[in-house]
A and B are shown apart, each in its own frame.
Chain A
Amino acid sequence: MTATPVQQDQPRVVLSARGLGKDFAGFTAVNNVDLDVEHGRIHALIGPNGAGKTTVFNLLTKFLTPTRGSITLLGQDITAKKPAEVARLGLVRSFQISAVFPHLTVLENLRVALQRPNGLATQFWRSLSSLDRLNPRADELIAQLGLTEYRDTRAMDLSYGRKRVLEIATTLALDPKVLLLDEPMAGMGLEDVRTVADIIRDVARDRAVLMVEHNLLVVADICDRVTVLQRGEILASGDYATVSTDPRVRTAYMGTDA
């Protein structure tokens, strides 16, 4: 059924949404969205601009409160939870605009991500060197994503592509069960796109990934499942081959009935 089978036991649904909807003052941005994201799979959310992809992300991570519907994460109903709680349960997102801490170095960015899971976030009486014990894990992630050379560079001085890589690294630092990536390759050069695609494929081995992406070549290449949104509703869902030949999808994307 999938183009790139991952050597996994049984694929299981880790994040699912049922009848998800969001109204903004009378305007329905998202309506009746059902979504199942499986462990060890990469799931793409695509659709034209304004289709509601980022709104769905915001609803899943509780940055927005859904008007209708329910969300389940690892068997637990998270519909009424707060964003930070959802993150602590293992659903971690990235942002459309690169979200790093610009004045902090690459190492510090990673340490901030590692501080909470390691119980080192509230101590206002301890010295900064108490964070040094996070360095081995931080360096491991830095190396894994090829940022070793930039370990002590401030995030604002990194190139755009590396900022995105750094963001993925900080997200991975939380060892999330489900990773939500909002256009991880937007605005990247070809070289960086390949690097990031490899990274995503690599990290999806033992977690679920849901990503919004415009680059259909990447989607075709690495995603196991594709859901197409249009005007806030699901237009089609399935593997890339099925979805890309769906005439309604072709109309929505190309504006032709070809």
Chain B
Amino acid sequence: MSHSDATAAPAPAAVQGATRIKAVILLAMLGFLLLVPMFLYPIFLMKILCFALFAAGFNLLLGYTGLLSFGHAAFFGGGAYFTAHAVKVWGLSPELGILVGVIGAAGLGLIMGLIAIRRQGIYFAMITLALSQMFFFFCLQAAFTNGEDGIQSVPRGIFLGVLDLSNQINMYYFVLGVFLLGILAIWRIINSPFGMILKSIRENEARATSLGYTVARYKLAAFVMSAAIAGLAGSVKSLVFQFATLTDVAWQMSGEVILMTLLGGIGTLIGPVIGAGLVVTLQNYLATSPLPVTVITGVVFMVCVLLFRRGLVGEFYASRIGRRLGFKSDS
């Protein structure tokens, strides 16, 4: 348990200093994201951003509502398929294609959520897994997904009719923009009146009910929002890689996003982002090495769970430096 003792509340001047330091950290991160394509391969960076957004959306549910979904691949992969189809077959612009992906994923989320939301813990996880496997099978069989082949050579198109996304650098800044908007949306949701109720449900569901909140409805809303953000991440990924395949809807993808979120830190806004960066980087560098990727990520995961249960960012927040900066670790 993280005890931030009430007696040692920082003085106002210290709080101001901490806010300044936090602002500097935020600006540094922004600057890094703006400049990093000069040094690193843009496709690799865009992949990280897509998975980071996916994990952050997943964490909206796990970290801030306390629901462990084992079926988020359905929304990520579903968003990818819908966007790829809309852009390639219907000839929609990238922004409209992404909108189709997000709405589609949210719709899937609504259906799955209505079925799963009344169950808790392991039952909830298992139902979401089963439903996402059903969606996997649908994608394997449906005509528009092209089965094992997937939807190939999806055109990136021209954003708002001005920005040519086939240019790698343009595409990077487009993806960065979507990523930042997505993170901003999550930040707003968790720091809103609605987010407060989600937090209270996670803290004590029976109490929230006895205060008159229809808990299932709030959970369902959070589930749909989380699905929409996962869908947004998948949509953008299909444009980045210009294809949508079964990999994105497979259950391993649902597992991977849990790994990323736990590694970075549940219930922190940037934890999943860091976790996703780490996992994707590991996969990327180990892909060319003789070491087996899954074994290495498995070991990393075990070390993380055994040594830093709050995840990397969560541990930092709970550390003395993190506490001095006024970060709150919620769990």
Residues of chain A whose beta carbon lies under 8 Å from any beta carbon of chain B: 61, 63, 82-85, 87-88, 92-95, 99-104, 108, 111-113, 115-117, 120-128, 130-131, 152-154, 156-157, 170, 174
Q: Which residues of A contact B215 (CB under 8 A)?
A: 84
A131 touches B193 (CB 8 A): yes
Is B164 at the interface (CB under 8 A from chain A)?
Answer: no
Distance of A121 Cα from B208 Cα, bound (Å): 12
Residues of chain B with a CB closer than 8 A to A61's CB = 210
Interface residues of B (CB under 8 A from A): 3-6, 9, 188-189, 191-197, 199-200, 203-204, 206-215, 221, 225, 330
Q: Decide if A115 touches B196 in the complex (CB within 8 Å).
A: yes
Neighbour of A116 across the interface among B3, B192, B199, B212, CB < 8 A: B212
Would B192 and A125 count as touching, CB distance under 8 A? yes
Min distance, Cβ B63 to any Cβ of chain A, angstroms: 12
In the complex, what distance in Å separates the CA atom of A111 from the CA atom of B63?
21
Cβ–Cβ contact B207 & A101, under 8 A:
yes
Report chain B residues within 8 Å CB of A127: 188, 191-192
Contact A101 B204 (CB under 8 A): yes
A122-B193, A128-B191 are known contacts; what are 17 more A-B pairs with Cβ within 8 Å? A92-B211, A100-B207, A101-B199, A104-B199, A112-B200, A113-B211, A121-B193, A124-B189, A124-B195, A126-B193, A127-B188, A127-B192, A128-B192, A131-B193, A154-B4, A156-B3, A157-B3
**How distant is the Cα of A95 from the Cα of B203 in the complex, in angstroms?**
15
How many angstroms from the CA of A154 to the CA of B195 in the assembled complex?
Answer: 18
Q: Are A95 and B206 in contact (CB under 8 A)?
A: yes
Q: What is the bound-complex CA distance between A128 and B190, given in angstroms?
A: 9
26 contacts between A and B (CB under 8 A): A87-B212, A92-B210, A92-B212, A94-B210, A101-B199, A103-B203, A104-B200, A104-B203, A113-B211, A115-B193, A116-B213, A120-B193, A121-B213, A122-B193, A122-B221, A123-B192, A123-B194, A127-B191, A128-B192, A128-B196, A130-B193, A153-B6, A154-B4, A157-B3, A157-B5, A174-B212
Residues in B neighbouring A153, C-beta threshold 8 A: 6
Question: A196 vs B193: C-alpha distance in the bound complex, in angstroms?
Answer: 31
Give A83's nearest chain B residue, CB to CB: B209
Q: Please report the C-alpha to C-alpha distance between residue A114 and residue B4 in the assembled complex, in whole angstroms.
A: 26
Query: What's the minimum C-beta distance from A154 to chain B, rounded to whole angstroms?
Result: 7
* Residues of the B chain whose Cβ atoms lie less than 8 Å from the Cβ of A116: 197, 211-213
Partner of B197 from the list A115, A154, A157 (CB cut-off 8 Å) is A115
**CB-nearest residue of chain B relative to A102?**
B203
In the complex, the answer to whether B5 meets A108 with C-beta atoms within 8 Å is no
Which B residues lie within 8 Å of A122 (CB)?
193-194, 197, 221
Known contacts A101-B203, A104-B200, A124-B188; is-contact A82 B214 (Cβ 8 Å): yes
Say whether B210 contacts A83, CB under 8 Å: yes
Out of A87, A102, A124, A125, name the residue touching B211 (CB < 8 Å). Answer: A87
A112 with B210, Cβ < 8 A, contacts A124-B189, A128-B191 known: no
Q: A87-B210, A104-B199 are in contact. Are A157 and B6 (CB under 8 A)?
A: yes
> B51 to nearest A CB, angstroms?
24
- Within 8 Å CB of B210, what residues of A? 61, 83, 87, 92-95, 99
| Distance from B145 Cβ to chain A, minimum over Cβ atoms (Å) | 32
Minimum CB–CB distance from B207 to chain A (whole Å) comes to 4
Chain A min CB distance to B184 (Å): 11
User: A87 contacts B192, CB within 8 Å?
Assistant: no
Candidate in B4, B188, B194 with the most chain A CB atoms within 10 angstroms: B194
C-alpha gap A85/B215 in the complex (Å): 11
Report the separation of the CA atoms of residues A104 and B208 in the bound assembly, to the nearest whole angstrom. 13
Report chain A residues within 8 Å CB of B200.
101, 104, 112
Chain A residues positioned under 8 Å from B9 (CB to CB): 152
Tell me the complex Cα distance, A128–B188, Å: 9
Q: When the two chains form their complex, are residues B206 and A99 in contact, meaning their CB atoms are under 8 A apart? A: yes
**What is the CA–CA distance of A100 and B206 in the complex, to the nearest angstrom?**
10
A125-B188 contact, Cβ under 8 Å, with A103-B203, A108-B196, A157-B6: yes
Please, how many angstroms separate the alpha-carbon atoms of A157 and B7 in the complex? 10
Q: How distant is the Cα of A128 from the Cα of B326 in the complex, in angstroms? A: 18
In Å, the complex CA distance between A140 and B52 comes to 44
